[in-house]
Amino acid sequence: MAIKFDSPEAHLKDPVAVAIRLRAPEREGIDERFGPSDVSPGLDIARNPRVARILRNRKFQFFLILPNQIIFWTVIFVGLMGTAIPGLNFGAAITWYVWFCLVFVMMVVVGRAWCAMCPFGGFAEWIQRRTFFQRTQKTLGLGRKFPEPLARIGFVLPVASFLLLTWIEEYYNIAGPGNPASTSFMVIGIVATALVFFLVFERRTFCRYICPLTSVIGTIGSMGSVAGFRTRDRDVCVSCKTKDCMRGGTEGYGCSWYTWPASADSNLYCGLCTECYKSCPEDNIGLFLQKPLTSVVAPMRRRADVAWAVALLWGLVLYQQLNALSFYSPIDSWLNSHLRFPHYPNPVAYLGMIVLLSVVTAGAAKGIAVLSARRDIGFDHPGNFMDKGSRFRAYFLPIMYGLIPVVGADYFARQLPKFFKSAPRVIPAVQHMFGFAGTNSSLYNSRILSDPRIINVQVGVIIVGTLAALWATLRITNRELVGVSRNAFLVRATTLGLVAVCGAVAALLYVAMQAAN
């Protein structure tokens, strides 16, 4: 059986050769404080006998998913059959006032924990495996491999899914929230798409390559304190002949996310499914905790697809902030009238603005690369050690990783108005399902914070995110960029300056938005 690894280029290659290739190379200019030792996964909580016993129990994952499964089927049913008043419909209220905000908190704190309890993938996986929790040898479906050219796109493909889903949500005003039935149809659509992919392709192909949330959770979740399942002794993994963590064994399936634990230097692709832990015959897999931002700073192998995913996600959240301002509506209306499109959001403006903002951010990284290069002695000499394309990549990738805390803070701040204005409505919505309460409930018309205080919290979140990004960028710059340029001060000043500008722009936009949803 072929083995897939966490980098698309390593697909189908010999695991021992890949292990050697993925060892952190010695590079000039690396800050020793943030060298290869930082890839150490941290504290292994699976050493605790009670935790180990829970993780080895095949019912653990089932009972982790089951509560969310119940909630989301309730959301679907109530959205279709319940009241059409969004604030009183439990399905719409819990999804848009509470759940979306809590998912972002979960990403920042524990990384990909949502993936471990996701009802979308969980339901489809139960059907694919033909069991709720037992280890079966035969699965349901075609078991095809995901096309390699698409796999190489990496995180950019799920970002495209996220952009499409966001446009659909905006077009039908689903998250307004609008008609509660629209929320139900959206959830049904995600579940149905996941099921199709689980039945056509092997393992969690949908979760890794298609799911609209995976790029958001993967990038922003790198700030979290759960490093995921990693190898305890790398040499044991390299010398292992069976690779049960990838192929599967008698006690567990192979990694659902195509990730080899010995190659992981971040929590990027660990969906916390526990299968590698159950499968390893050498008891060489642990569940590790790490310091916040470790998976942002520590990786020695920066990925271009992750960097472009961060840039596109940054473009999307900036677009959402800009279209909440009064100047944007006439622009969108003008485009709709000329392109004969029904109403907001105009797809040309939507995609065009996101791409433009992403390219501007990438252009700033390129500007830093060019500026630092011109200050280097002999950059224009034909024998220079780095061409322009390589220099852009050398700067763009680490800078985008460093921006992750700002992007994560911006997405979280964007959810806060709905939460602070409308979260109390979830209680009367629950009561309404059982024939109690209504729009006359005191909680229905109450809010947690006033608009000025919401703005203060949003700006505060952006400040915290910016400070975290400055911290991460400084360490990434010291390790990866100072050695590329001969002008260390200029490199530090420009990279940190870009992060500060991004944070300032996001904060100013929230002040201008005046707590708009």
Residue 436 pLDDT grade (very low, low, confident, very high; cuts 50, 70, 90): confident
368/151 Cα distance (integer angstroms): 30
Same domain, 311 and 410: yes
Q: What is the mean pLDDT of the chain?
A: 87
Residue 147 belongs to some domain of the structure: yes
| Mean pLDDT confidence for 441-470 | 96
Residue 180 pLDDT grade (very low, low, confident, very high; cuts 50, 70, 90): very high
Same domain, 277 and 326: no
pLDDT score of 484 more than 80:
no
Q: 38-47, 326-335, 447-456: which has the minimum mean pLDDT?
A: 38-47
pLDDT score of 398 more than 90:
yes
What pLDDT, in 10s, does the model give residues 319-328?
A: 999 999 999 9
Q: Crossing angle, helix 347-374 and helix 488-513, to 10 degrees?
A: 160
What pLDDT score does 47 carry?
95
Residue 351 pLDDT grade (very low, low, confident, very high; cuts 50, 70, 90): very high
Residue 26: DSSP 8-state: P
Q: Tokens at residue 465, please?
A: 């995110």
Same domain, 291 and 409: no
Same domain, 348 and 230: no
Half-sphere exposure of residue 453: CA atoms within 13 angstroms, side-chain side: 7
Which range of residues forms the domain containing residue 259? 8-297
| Mean pLDDT confidence for 243-256 | 90
Same domain, 264 and 238: yes
304/199 Cα distance (integer angstroms): 30
To 5 degrees, how large is the angle CA 172–CA 412–CA 266? 115
Residue 1 belongs to some domain of the structure: no
Last residue of a domain, one of 258, 277, 297: 297
Same domain, 18 and 96: yes
Same domain, 246 and 357: no
Residue 359 belongs to some domain of the structure: yes
pLDDT score of 114 more than 50:
yes
pLDDT score of 1 more than 50:
no
Same domain, 274 and 367: no
Same domain, 322 and 292: no
What pLDDT score does 217 carry?
94
What pLDDT, in 10s, does the model give residues 363-397?
A: 999 999 988 877 654 444 443 445 566 889 999 99
Residue 3 belongs to some domain of the structure: no
Same domain, 140 and 169: yes
496/472 Cα distance (integer angstroms): 10
What pLDDT score does 4 carry?
40
Same domain, 103 and 201: yes
324/514 Cα distance (integer angstroms): 9
| Mean pLDDT confidence for 64-71 | 94
- Containing 515, the helix (H) or strand (E) segment is none
In terms of Cβ atoms closer than 10 Å to its own Cβ (0-12, 13-18, 19+), residue 377 is exposed
Residue 483 pLDDT grade (very low, low, confident, very high; cuts 50, 70, 90): confident
pLDDT score of 16 more than 90:
no
What pLDDT score does 386 carry?
53
Residue 287: DSSP 8-state: E
Last residue of a domain, one of 282, 297, 312: 297
Residue 425 belongs to some domain of the structure: yes
pLDDT score of 359 more than 50:
yes
Domain count, the chain: 2
Residue 397 belongs to some domain of the structure: yes
What pLDDT, in 10s, does the model give residues 493-517?
A: 999 999 999 999 999 999 999 999 8
β-bridge partners, 287 = 229
Last residue of a domain, one of 240, 267, 297: 297
Residue 433 belongs to some domain of the structure: yes
Same domain, 246 and 309: no
176 vs 78, higher pLDDT: 78
Residue 2 belongs to some domain of the structure: no
